[in-house]
């Protein structure tokens, strides 16, 4: 898995690669002090962003042979990588020659391509699947409220809509090999809610853990979604949503004696059901890896599906990185009314609307 970790107290974070055999490994930077890993493929290639020698953040591709490579920009000063597939294709966001931040597709053979917008002045790619399909968010020609999109080489950028009439906003954060998308949608009246979108059924709300809001960050080939949601007490809890069982609090599915205070965000899930994200242990923020394991308990006949789902438990391996819940660099997010905002400096991820950075 990848993410970022502080290399010393109060020092800027560096991107890391963690694997079970060697633990956590510092991936370095593009010349300055900051880097962050946001996407990783099965070949161990990592993408993210790092501050270059000119002081601007740039999208990078890291691999064990060549180290960290600057992927450049679309003619502007900065860029940021968000995700990478097994073909080594990267998506993210870059400034173009007009100073606008738009979605890019970087390919090892053709370099960086501008994927445009849904008619507005801004877009950002969040995730890419094995076939090169991309999801993210974009402004539309009708207004500044962004919409989730699905981009394909054949059809370009498609508006995935929202769960309510205008004014409303949506953003895509994860996409699986089947082209299913997860993310969040919101209106001025209704808080943000996690969704799953597919071509057959359109957009479906996933609900919450009993509170006001939720957001889906990633989806695997089984249609399982990970993300974060508020329970009734207004705290922040990591969730797993399953097509059969619905939304489950991951804190209820891990052994209680592991010492974790709370698992707050589940950032990614792979096709084996392994989940990564961050939470707090002994008051300190830490990355985690959840390993699914099915207990041998045999439920009583007639046990409700949610109760049967609780028989799935996760063994949790705590990352030893010091993981700060924040991100530094140019980004766009949904503001308090679903409005896109741009921040070129440090920001504390205090709510669910800032989706750049973290562990994958």
Alpha-carbon gap, residue 30 to 251, rounded angstroms:
37
| pLDDT, position 184 | 96
Alpha-carbon gap, residue 238 to 72, rounded angstroms:
34
pLDDT in tens, 40-60: 999 999 999 999 999 999 999
Percent pLDDT > 70 in the chain is 81
pLDDT in tens, 65-101: 999 999 999 999 999 999 999 999 999 999 999 999 9
| pLDDT, position 145 | 83
Alpha-carbon gap, residue 233 to 212, rounded angstroms:
10
Query: What does the pLDDT average to over 230-242?
Result: 95
Rounded (10°) CA dihedral 21, 26, 27, 29? 180
Alpha-carbon gap, residue 115 to 333, rounded angstroms:
19
pLDDT in tens, 134-171: 999 999 998 768 999 999 999 999 999 998 776 789 99
Sign of CA dihedral 9, 264, 269, 193: negative
Alpha-carbon gap, residue 22 to 319, rounded angstroms:
12
The secondary structure of 28-96 as a DSSP string is --SEEEEEEEEEE-TT--EEEEEEETTS-EEEEEEETTTEEEE---BEEEEEEEEEE-TT--EEEEEEE
Two tokens at 293?
């394991």
Residues with Cβ within 8 Å of residue 320, at least 6 apart in sequence: 23, 24, 286
Question: Is 324's pLDDT higher than 60?
Answer: no
The secondary structure of 309-333 as a DSSP string is HTTEEEEEEE--S---SEEES-EEE
Alpha-carbon gap, residue 57 to 69, rounded angstroms:
13
């Amino acid at each position: 898995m990848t993410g970022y970790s502080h290399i010393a107290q109060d020092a800027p974070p560096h991107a890391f690669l963690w694997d079970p055999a060697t633990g956590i490994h510092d991936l370095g930077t593009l010349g300055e002090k900051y880097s962050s890993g946001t996407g990783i493929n099965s070949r161990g290639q990592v993408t993210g962003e790092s501050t270059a020698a000119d002081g601007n953040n740039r999208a990078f591709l890291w691999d064990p042979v060549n180290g960290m490579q600057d992927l450049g920009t679309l003619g502007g000063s900065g860029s940021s990588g968000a995700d990478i597939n097994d073909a080594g294709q990267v998506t993210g966001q870059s400034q173009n020659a007009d100073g606008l931040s738009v979605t890019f597709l970087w390919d090892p053979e053709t370099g960086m391509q501008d994927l445009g917008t849904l008619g507005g002045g801004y877009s950002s790619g969040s995730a890419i699947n094995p076939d090169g399909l991309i999801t993210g968010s974009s402004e539309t020609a009708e207004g500044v409220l962004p919409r989730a999109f699905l981009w394909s080489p054949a059809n370009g950028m498609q508006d995935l809509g929202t769960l309510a009439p205008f004014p409303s906003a949506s953003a895509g954060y994860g996409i699986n090999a089947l082209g299913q998308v997860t993310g969040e949608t919101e209106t001025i009246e209704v808080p943000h809610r996690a969704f799953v979108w597919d071509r057959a059924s359109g957009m479906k709300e996933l609900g919450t853990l009993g509170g006001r809001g939720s957001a889906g960050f990633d989806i695997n080939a089984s249609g399982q979604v990970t993300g974060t949601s508020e329970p009734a007490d207004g705290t922040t809890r990591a969730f797993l949503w399953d097509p059969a069982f619905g939304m489950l609090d991951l804190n209820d599915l891990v052994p209680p004696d592991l010492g974790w205070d709370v698992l707050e965000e589940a950032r990614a899930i792979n096709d084996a059901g392994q989940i990564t994200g961050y939470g707090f242990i002994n008051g300190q923020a830490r990355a985690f890896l959840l390993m699914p394991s099915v207990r041998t308990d045999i439920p009583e006949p007639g046990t409700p599906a949610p109760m049967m789902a609780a028989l799935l438990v996760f063994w949790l391996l705590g990352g030893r990185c010091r993981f700060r819940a924040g991100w530094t660099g140019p980004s766009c997010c949904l503001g308090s009314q679903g409005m896109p905002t741009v921040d070129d400096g440090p920001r504390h991820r205090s709510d669910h609307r800032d989706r750049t950075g973290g562990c994958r």
